[in-house]
Amino acid sequence: MLQWSVRVVAIVLAAGEGQRIGTPKALLLVEGETFLARCCRLLARPGIAAVAAVIGAQAGRVRHEAPAPGGVTVVENARWADGMLTSVWTGLDAAGVLGAEAVLLHPVDHPLVAPATVDRVVDALAGGAFAAVPTWDGRRGHPGGFGAEAIAALRAAPPEQGARAVLAAHPERVVHVTGDPGCRRGVDTPDDYRRVPGWVAPPGEPSPERTS
């Protein structure tokens, strides 16, 4: 890790309803812990000053069934149904209160990212990157890192494109770091979830006889 030169706040985006899964993804389990808890724990790395989690759909249930680890700031996005960018904005507001000079954005449906990938994104931000993303197999993954200028661009991004618009507008300023398979392994469907270690079926689906 580089010497911590900027105050980085990590934001877990966990406000969606998980329509295809049938439950908010924050509540899903991986190896005995919720996706929300796993992602918050993953991001509690050297060089990350604080972690904030944005919840929205079934917020009361998420707070009760998937409490965030101690020290994590949890905020609610009342506009979660208007798209992920509204959760990004909610998270940026929380990160601003926490003194962020740069942020990591991490969707809760990517619980299998390797800690070393997070470290490399933080290192790039510490080195002054406008933005930094991990890549694996030639494709961009998570978490994405955004410096101060990029945070301003996120606040002005078009809702239908979100953070992708910021990266696409400044390709020459985006630092690509080595990722891992987990940075690309999103959980969008029941079949995706069945490939997660220690998965437990959401209500309405039969529980597995064993975990993978």
* CATH number of the CATH domain containing 150: 3.90.550.10
Q: Which residues of 8-36 are buried (b: 16+ CB within 10 A; e: fewer)?
A: bbbbbbbbbebeebebbbbbbbbeebbbb
CA–CA dist 117, 196 (Å, integer): 19
Examine residue 181 and state whether it is found in any structural domain, yes or no.
yes
Q: Which of 90, 95, 156, 97 is nearest to 125 (CA)?
A: 95
Examine residue 205 and state whether it is found in any structural domain, yes or no.
no
The answer to whether 24 and 17 are in contact (CB under 8 A) is yes
pLDDT at 161: 84
| Residue 102 domain boundaries | 8-194
pLDDT at 17: 95
The answer to whether 35 and 27 are in contact (CB under 8 A) is yes
Cα 103–chain centre separation: 11
Q: Within 13 Å of residue 78, how many CA atoms lie on the same side as its CB?
A: 0
Examine residue 132 and state whether it is found in any structural domain, yes or no.
yes
Give 2-23 pLDDT, tens digit per residue: 555 799 999 999 999 999 999 9
Calculate mean pLDDT across residues 172-199. 94
Banded pLDDT at 211 (limits 50, 70, 90):
very low
Q: Which of 110, 115, 119, 160 is nearest to 140 (CA)?
A: 110
Calculate mean pLDDT across residues 40-64. 97
Could you give the percent of the chain with pLDDT greater than 90? 87
CA–CA dist 59, 16 (Å, integer): 10
Higher pLDDT, 74 or 200: 74
Give 28-43 pLDDT, tens digit per residue: 999 999 999 999 999 9
Give 91-121 pLDDT, tens digit per residue: 999 999 999 999 999 999 999 999 999 999 9
The answer to whether 108 and 13 are in contact (CB under 8 A) is yes
Helix (H, G, I), strand (E, B) or coil at 139: strand
Examine residue 63 and state whether it is found in any structural domain, yes or no.
yes
Examine residue 202 and state whether it is found in any structural domain, yes or no.
no
**According to DSSP H, which parts of 74-211 are helical?**
84-97, 115-126, 148-155, 163-169, 190-194
Angle (CA) 30 41 65, round 5°: 55
Helix (H, G, I), strand (E, B) or coil at 175: strand
pLDDT at 56: 98
Pairing of strands 102-107, 8-14: parallel
Instruction: Examine the pLDDT at 207 and tell me if it is beyond 90.
Output: no
Taking the CB of residue 96, how many other CB atoms lie within 10 A of it? 13
Higher pLDDT, 24 or 204: 24
The pTM is what?
0.92
pLDDT at 200: 78
Q: How many domains does the chain have?
A: 1
Taking the CB of residue 210, how many other CB atoms lie within 10 A of it? 4
Examine residue 3 and state whether it is found in any structural domain, yes or no.
no
pLDDT at 159: 84
CA–CA dist 191, 212 (Å, integer): 13
Residue 95 tokens, joined: 């990160």
